[in-house]
Amino acid sequence: MDLAPHMLVKALRGAGECCEAMRIEDYSLIGDCRTGALVSTRGSIDWLCLPRFDSPACFAALLGNQEHGCWEIRPRGEIREVHRRYHGYSLILETEFTTTDGVVRLIDFMPTERSLPQVVRIVRGLRGRVPMQMLLTIRFDYGLLIPWVRSCEGGISAVAGPHAVHVRSDVKMTGRDMSTVAEFTVAAEQQNCFVLSYSSSFEPAEHPAAASEALEQTADCWKRWIASARHEGEHRDAVLRSLVTLKGLSYAPTGGLIAALTTSLPECLGGQRNWDYRYCWIRDGTFTLYALIESGFTAEAVAWRDWLARAVAGEPSQTQALYAVDANRWLREAQVPWLPGYEGSRPVRIGNGAVEQLQLDVYGEIMDTLHVARTRGLPPDENTWRIQKVLMGHLEKIWRQPDNGIWEIPGARRHMTHSKIMVWVAFDRAVKAVERFGLDGPVERWRALRQEVHDDVCERGFDAEKNSFVQVYGSREVDASLLLIPALGFLPPGDPRVRGTIEAIERELLRDGLVRRYRTESGIDSLPGDEGAFLLCSFWLADAWTLMGRHQQAEQLFAYLLSLRNEVGLLPEQYDTSRRRFLGNFPQAFSHVALINTARNLAADETSPLAQRGR
């Protein structure tokens, strides 16, 4: 995919024409570590949930059209070129429009040091005199509620139910057709500012940020944060951009880490594989924390550890795979019938039915990440080890049960091989906690269970005729999660069973240079349609090749994956190799976590995280 870093040249339709739907890759992320917005190449904010990531959206055009809420600022005349980039390693987005009248820059960001979310949009003239237009359509509750809008000093206020949004500007705004519009002209070295503030409808609004001052403060905040990053390798720019993206997907008040900013961006265009990812999966959090710890961000690791302790507090049998950003467990899935979905992909879902699934691998991921935290010198916490022991006691009782697995396959539970391997990881890391760190626990029983699980996997999860581990005990299908076997320390990379498994995955799941999770046509899940290549799994293949000494292939695959990023360095969940388009929720934490880890793993020496992880 031929994309120049930090640059896009794209012809847009004239201002008077209807804009076609934007591709997922045409969006960029801005955020304040409490919520975030997606800004398109035409200067439209088409997705924003307030006041936090998992709140109802007030701009939902991403899953419908402009009538479902958006905020567009763009030139009125013909747009010849669009260039966009982030300001340094931040989430301050700069979009430059070149028109027949001149050049104008749109700066979008969310101040990081406010008690309630605000969005600041600054329009700066760079050359000539550029006529501009603004369209603001506020629709609360995912595009359903048309608010009561009234003029106030310096702007407008929009209220519906418990929600209120206030927009202040030095540009005169007027109402038209249930929206707010404005027209203005920006000359070189001039600027106009817009500030959107959220508040509850029954409390006073917070004073809007002073745009230029907030820009300087926010840039300084991001600069100070990224200064802690520990990565000086060849792919430093890609790693730092991914770290900033992960930080943007964190919920600062609690330490929770969401899987993605959006809900219901499809894994198959026009299909039903549309899920809500605006929540905190324990699994995703552990992968993210691994990347952050290895990159030097221990404060985030401590905050997530504290979030985890609150989330799983209570009866261990009630532990869930995912929670809300505040650790709330009520995430029942529902549908939003008034939204037509991204490019007609229905249904649009809020909440996630996976909250009711059993996913045994989560226990292994918790134990593995906290093991890594201890080996990297994270400050000890007695409460954490108490929680771990309680979880291990529960795992001893349930590990023989079938589950829904890492991919949250709906329907009947199965004995998933990867899940059992992660059970082994849980017991292995529990043993290491006692042996290496002197923590108390029934280590002899854990050693015995570790061996029992290992024997069970090797006997029931391995197909000798195929010379490969399989997705489900007794099946012949493979699963990309089996690529993790050597990295987790379950078997060494030189083991013939590991080599045979990787070769089987290459034969059956590697397509057009990227790896699928599993063969959807095998019938293991009941949803119709295929899905794209899962980018996380392709990074895992690069890691497996690295461990096997196939460094050139790993480097080539990693370079290909980097080329798939959009021009501001963002990745989705999946990629459609036939249409050359992004698929799935966006930006996806899993993809950026894998990028960071693979970049570090390509060092391929005895001190690399990949070589050390299972030790």
Provide the pLDDT for residue 615. 57
Residue 207 has pLDDT above 80, yes or no: yes
**pLDDT per residue over 123-156, tens digit each?**
999 999 999 999 999 999 999 999 999 999 899 9
Cis peptide before 51 (omega within 30 of 0): yes
pLDDT category at 20 given cuts 50, 70, 90 is low
- Cα–Cα distances (Å) from 239 to 26, 245, 563, in that order, read 21, 10, 14
Provide the pLDDT for residue 13. 33
pLDDT category at 554 given cuts 50, 70, 90 is very high
Average pLDDT over residues 507-527: 89
Q: What percent of the chain has pLDDT over 90?
A: 83
Residue 1 has pLDDT above 60, yes or no: no
pLDDT category at 10 given cuts 50, 70, 90 is very low
Provide the pLDDT for residue 453. 98
Average pLDDT over residues 561-579: 97
Provide the pLDDT for residue 2. 30
Average pLDDT over residues 533-549: 97
Beta bridge partners of 44: 72
Listed in sequence order, the DSSP H helices in 297-345 are 298-311
Considering only 77-91, 124-138, 335-349, 516-530, which range has the smallest mean pLDDT?
Answer: 516-530
Q: How many CA atoms lie within 13 A of 308 on its CB side?
A: 29
Residues of the chain with CATH 2.70.98.40: 24-204
Helix (H) or strand (E) holding 511: strand 510-511
Top-confidence residue, 450 or 152: 450
Average pLDDT over residues 95-121: 96
Provide the pLDDT for residue 614. 55
pLDDT category at 613 given cuts 50, 70, 90 is low
Beta bridge partners of 98: 81, 103
Provide the pLDDT for residue 410. 86
Residue 116 has pLDDT above 70, yes or no: yes
* End-to-end Cα separation, the chain, in angstroms: 38
**pLDDT per residue over 412-422, tens digit each?**
999 999 999 99
Residue 64 has pLDDT above 90, yes or no: yes
Q: Are 124 and 190 in contact (CB under 8 A)?
A: yes
Average pLDDT over residues 191-203: 95
Residues of the chain with CATH 1.50.10.10: 238-375+456-612
Question: Distance between CA 303 and CA 296 in Å, rounded?
Answer: 14
Top-confidence residue, 612 or 141: 141
**pLDDT per residue over 262-318, tens digit each?**
999 999 999 999 999 999 999 988 888 889 888 999 899 899 989 998 998 888 999
Q: Are 370 and 430 in contact (CB under 8 A)?
A: no
CATH 1.50.10.10 fits 238-375+456-612, yes or no: yes
Whole-number average pLDDT of the chain: 92
Q: Are 488 and 421 in contact (CB under 8 A)?
A: yes
Average pLDDT over residues 426-447: 97
Q: Are 398 and 363 in contact (CB under 8 A)?
A: no
Average pLDDT over residues 16-28: 75
**pLDDT per residue over 35-57, tens digit each?**
999 999 999 999 999 999 999 99
Q: Are 366 and 418 in contact (CB under 8 A)?
A: no
Provide the pLDDT for residue 604. 55
Question: Distance between CA 244 and CA 91 in Å, rounded?
Answer: 7
Provide the pLDDT for residue 176. 94
CATH 2.70.98.40 fits 24-204, yes or no: yes
Q: Is residue 173 helix, strand or coil?
A: coil
Provide the pLDDT for residue 5. 32
Q: Is residue 469 helix, strand or coil?
A: strand
Helix (H) or strand (E) holding 195: strand 191-200
Give the pairing type, strands 102-109 and 118-137: antiparallel
